[in-house]
C-alpha cells in the first residue's frame, strides 16, 4: 500500500533545499509526495542575491482547503522544515491536528529550525510556538544540539545530559528524537561529530521501553544548505521501513547523508580547483547523482546502542 506525504517546506528554483531536498529522495524510496512551498525563491539565501515570494498563512489555508474540497487530504505523513512566520507555523499545527483526526496513525516529522551554534536564525517569537504547539503534536523531531537545548531549557555537556534532554523532549510529545549534531567529544577523535537518537515504544502490556543510540560521523569542512531537509526526509523514510529499530533507521539515514555529502564535496573541489574554496553554487547537493545511494546506502555510519 502506498504511503502519501504532505511536505510543507521552502522551494528554490536552483539547487536542493526544502521540498526539493525531501521530495526526490522520498519518491525514489516509493513515497507519494504532495508539496506545498512555504517560500518560492530563485535560490537559497547563501548566495549573494535571491528573489522570490513567501507564502502567507491565509494562502496556505486556501491551498489546503482546495485539497480538502477534492477529498484528497488523506496522508500518512506530514513533513515540515524552515519557516519564519508564527501565523504560518500555527496554521501548520491546525492542519496537522485536522489530518490526525482523520488518520490517527498519521506521523508528523518536524525539523524544528530555530538556530545553531548558540544563536537563533529565525525570529524569537517562533520559539514559544515550536515549544508549546508544534513539538507536542510532532511524532519525530530532528533538532540540533542548540535547538534541543532551547526547547527543553537544559544544556548538554555530557552524553547523560543529552539522554535527559531527549527524555524531556519525549515528555513534550514526540516518540522519536534525533539530535542531529552536537558538540560532545567523539570517542573516535576530534574529526568526528556525535549525534544521538532516542525512540519510545509501547509494549503489548502497555509498558514503555526506550532505545537510545549514538552515531559518530566524519566532519566535513564546508557549509551545505539543504542537508537538514534531506536528513528529516530520510528519517521519515527509514523509520517507516524500520519502525521499531532506531539503530538501523539511523544507520541508513546517516549513511545516505555521508554518501550525498562526500559526492557533493568531491565535485565541488573538482570545480573550484586546487587550493580554492568552493562557492555556494558548487556546493549544491548532488542529489540526482546519489540516487543509488539513497535507494540502498552502503552502511558507513554504525550506531551504538547506549541503553
Give the residue numbers marked as catalytic: 229
Start-end of H helices in the chain: 19-28, 57-69, 86-102, 126-129, 135-137, 145-152, 159-172, 227-241, 246-272, 291-295
Taking a C-beta distance cutoff of 8 angstroms, is the pair 52, 42 a contact?
yes
**Coarse DSSP helix, strand, coil percentages of the chain, rounded to the nearest 5 percent:** 40, 20, 35
Widest distance between CA atoms in the chain: 61
Helix (H) or strand (E) holding 131: none
Nearest to 297 by CA among 228, 246, 248: 248
Task: Report DSSP letters for 144-178, one per residue.
Answer: -HHHHHHHHT---SSHHHHHHHHHHHHHHS-SEEE
User: Using alpha carbons only, how large is the chain's radius of gyration in Å?
Assistant: 19
Taking a C-beta distance cutoff of 8 angstroms, is the pair 225, 81 a contact?
no
Distance separating alpha carbons of residues 275 and 220, to the nearest angstrom: 16
Helix (H, G, I), strand (E, B) or coil at 47: coil
DSSP class of 243: T
The residue written with cell numbers 545530559 in the block is 161
Taking a C-beta distance cutoff of 8 angstroms, is the pair 149, 119 a contact?
no
Distance separating alpha carbons of residues 281 and 42, to the nearest angstrom: 12
Amino acid at each position: 500500500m502506498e504511503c502519501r506525504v504532505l511536505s510543507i517546506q521552502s522551494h528554490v528554483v536552483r539547487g536542493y533545499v526544502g521540498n526539493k531536498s525531501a521530495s526526490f529522495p522520498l519518491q525514489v524510496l516509493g513515497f507519494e509526495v504532495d508539496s506545498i512551498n512555504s517560500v518560492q525563491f530563485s535560490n537559497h539565501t547563501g548566495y549573494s542575491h535571491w528573489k522570490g515570494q513567501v507564502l502567507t498563512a491565509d494562502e496556505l489555508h486556501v491551498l489546503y482547503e482546495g485539497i480538502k474540497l477534492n477529498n484528497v487530504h488523506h496522508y500518512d505523513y506530514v513533513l515540515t522544515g524552515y519557516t519564519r512566520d508564527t501565523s504560518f507555523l500555527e496554521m501548520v499545527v491546525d492542519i496537522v491536528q485536522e489530518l490526525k483526526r482523520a488518520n490517527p496513525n498519521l506521523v508528523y516529522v518536524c525539523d524544528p529550525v530555530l538556530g545553531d551554534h548558540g544563536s537563533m536564525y529565525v525570529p524569537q517569537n517562533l520559539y514559544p510556538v515550536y515549544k508549546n504547539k508544534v513539538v507536542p503534536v510532532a511524532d519525530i523531531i530532528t533538532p540540533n544540539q542548540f535547538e534541543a537545548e532551547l526547547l527543553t531549557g537544559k544544556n548538554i555537556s555530557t552524553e547523560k545530559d543529552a539522554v535527559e534532554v531527549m527524555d524531556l523532549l519525549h515528555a513534550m510529545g514526540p516518540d522519536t528524537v534525533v539530535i542531529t549534531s552536537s558538540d560532545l567529544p567523539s570517542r573516535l577523535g576530534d574529526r568526528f561529530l556525535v549525534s544521538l537518537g532516542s525512540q519510545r515504544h509501547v509494549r503489548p502490556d502497555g509498558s514503555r521501553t526506550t532505545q537510545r543510540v549514538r552515531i559518530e560521523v566524519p566532519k566535513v569542512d564546508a557549509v551545505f544548505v539543504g542537508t537538514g531537509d534531506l536528513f528529516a526526509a530520510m528519517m521519515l523514510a527509514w523509520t517507516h521501513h524500520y519502525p521499531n529499530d532506531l539503530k538501523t533507521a539511523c544507520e541508513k539515514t546517516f549513511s545516505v547523508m555521508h554518501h550525498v555529502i562526500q559526492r557533493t564535496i568531491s565535485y565541488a573541489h573538482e570545480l573550484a580547483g586546487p587550493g580554492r574554496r568552493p562557492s555556494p553554487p558548487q556546493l549544491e547537493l548532488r542529489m540526482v547523482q546519489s540516487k543509488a545511494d539513497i535507494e540502498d546506502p552502503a552502511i558507513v555510519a554504525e550506531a551504538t546502542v547506549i541503553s
